[in-house]
Structure 1
């Protein structure tokens, strides 16, 4: 059997075994299937691609849309039970059973069509090469993410129910973007699987081949000097001084709230985003808010000393008031500490928390949306203390951000402008450095190729050179010179010059070869 016939038979057998290729599954709504080899297969699967995991949304999300069907089923059971208790109303019970059964079948059909089918088709197929997200019935949507682009994986379980039923979001931090697998069961298992595949892909990646370089060290040094890139500026990372409490979770600010409770901030960072600076309001705000309760805290006991002589029970009331004032001052302090502004390398976030965890408000804007930044100082005292307000104006209906009563407002204004232009500066420098590197590779390749041609193809011309000059010239090409004798056929030339050479100039000769020369001789 010829090789062509064998390939034809193998292709026909594959078509018979693969409904995705043969067309038998053309009207099938399945996104994948389990083949005869007990492995998952899907349309568009590459020859060496293996499905490692198939994930859908957690089944708990089917419970709410199924409630009408479940409720009608319970109502039907209740009517059946009631008909056994009151058989005299048999006609009424029968009518109710028929009506409820029809309603239940209608609700079940609607649930299967509207919710269950959408849940079944919304899948994440994780292979050894990519992650494929697909959803939709008549207008299917498919998206794929290469495993090689995954830089980091985090999980987000932000409610007690998600912890009890073990579901959550898996956040993929990609090169140039993000992708979130929402409400998947066992998110830690999914995270470990993706991280393992990412490590496999990166481990199997071949290292980049080094470009050619000239053998001449002087040329190499000149090229390296010309290709030396500018240093890319780096912003400080304000989270370096805070411990990473939950490395598996979605990335966000490491600073916690609520004092000893260590309540995490409900802010999720995108790929490549990090905290540049935390800005606290001026201590002047704390002292101003504490002044009045502290005044009463000191004065009430002093006043109670006089009143207690007339009313002995006064001290019980004073103790109660003092405890209340201590709680008030504690809340004032916690509210002050938790009222923070976060500057990341992409956006500004204003977080305002009240009563530890009972209230939280957040306003944010990206630097690209900033129209203007202004600083105002309300009073002479604030001017002397270098305190002011920083107004960040945004276009349209976007909410403006006010950094109220902060220290060194003009420095903060300059800092925001600097961060705003950081990305443009980094992009410009990175582009310039990449161009220099590309030119270095190009010139190094050209020079190395020319060196090879000089060394392997062109015998230098040594004629009319004295012997030692000829030796020096040939050594530059890695060749040796051997004097074979003298020739008196050139009486007009001074003695000792090369008059003939073998091989002639330009002849192909390998490095380390020998050039035979004849020197002039005067009779």
Structure 2
């Protein structure tokens, strides 16, 4: 077989789809073509590993036995699959035996070439072992009784299939006898006995179970052993990804692992479990049946973390089989037992509804199966059944959070914890003292003038009363618009003077260093104090005077800060565990889906793709906010442009009026002996000067840019015609505090203001002056800063964890060498 033909075959194999082209070419170049007759033994378990094989044509059976000769693994190797590579990756003798079933052609890779290719192309090991597929299968209850090692061995039994919406997966063939067990479907699934759903929704029609909608983690198929999940027909509702087994492989799996047969005989009662929870107990039978079509089925082995404290939450969990414990970590990272979960227990209501971060860690103590409903899928259900929202039995905690939910945008939804205005005492003092003075003045004035009943005095009293009433209304509105807000992610101090100004200061919880309460005797008697919150920024001091119940507010801030820090530590421990497991081969972490249903795609557009539409150019002549890829550019407010161009615009208007007058009266001017041509030249020259001035001011306005990218902030002040440019930059990681300020009534009406950015860089403080919607600018910068810090922390954690894992890996190697 020519080398070009081998290369073409390798390119067509799914196994090598993710390898670089040069890697595939090198495999084809170093590989040696071998042909074997039926019944030829390729290698025996325990032999020295001389190389790996790739099956080009034919069929091979591979098996493995334990120490007493019992078969513990068997699979049929088909065209496009590899075998014999595990012993090379582990550096051991042959771990299995292999024999041809039919005449076969194979590409043999000698051990030396394979090891060189493995070092040169790290993707090769991932393509052969398929760790992502193994982790996904680990999360499926159908295979829950298998050990991690057994999963690594059987991963090649599964074939990945993708089905588009409305396409058949299993379609019945009506034979003359009317009782055929065979089905016709797409080429990918026509010979499959069982299918495990990775993602998507499938309508299954069963002889026993009737009609049902199944989604991620569930199984169905045509095999006789599948009971109520044995399908007469099955169709994709959405785009569906499946992992499928052939009949011979399923027969071996059922005989080798009887627990799978026991699970098949007792599948989960999804509707019953949903109805038994408090949250969904009042839904109608139709709504429960529809909701069941969005519920995933997930498996977590013993001692595995199901949810981690501090991680973003987006799902509701119902324990279907097994037992679990719920623990909470304090600020020092010490975990304490809070609850014990058994079959039927559920948690995650606020995460489902509000996407709240997890406030506890749940860990399986024995193998567990869970029914899981994700937020995005639940929202899809509510769009189809909006009346179901009214029948949800929400807890008071969830209802309260819904009523007071903070308006926050970003990757993690932000939820209100507490908010308060200032104590009533400063309001009373501001109203009582001036009112008392005015009242005293009116009484004294009335006695002094002695005109109590006169019309003039009545008018004076009315005007003073109106003034006092307006003042009181103003003071109350001012008091009502000052807030201290505590959310799950930050502290916000908002001071607003209606139609005058607004100022907001934000501080992330993890940046808070100290919370101090200042209280004097009078304040203690009335129950208020002055709250001072010190953040990591040099000027990051948030002071909220006249805070009611300041001790409680301080405690809430400390609790939320402790929760954030404890969650961060718990997440870091989880990452360390995962790295160690991967580096030392200690286990397989389950990888459940992020939602049951993938992003919706119209089947019509998928089948009839339209040519891409030409993107219209964006009009940016006066734009003050421009999104350019992953960066955002702001200019100053148009009012700033108007103030800059007022002079040249006024001059241009005068010049135009002069030109009109000159054109109308030029005959009379000639009669008087005026130099009309000179006047025209002068007016035109002034017009050109005014126009140049106008264009200069516009270009100067247009070239003053405030830019935020995924990793930097940039302040550019550039004069026209390349006269001068001042460019200041700072990393987002150096930003310590961001505040916005609306300085006056005009700014409030036209929605512009200043954003002050304090950094630890040499460039110091950045000020984005005269920007439109300063609160949005502040919020966008804060979101970018948080995202940057999260990426930076993830990189640092990954580096530290890699170093730790390397130490443990070396220790494990030395330990095994000593034991050997």
When normalised by structure 2's length, the TM-score is 0.23
Q: Return the index of the structure with the highest Cα Rg.
A: 1
Considering fraction of residues, name the structure with more strand. Answer: 2
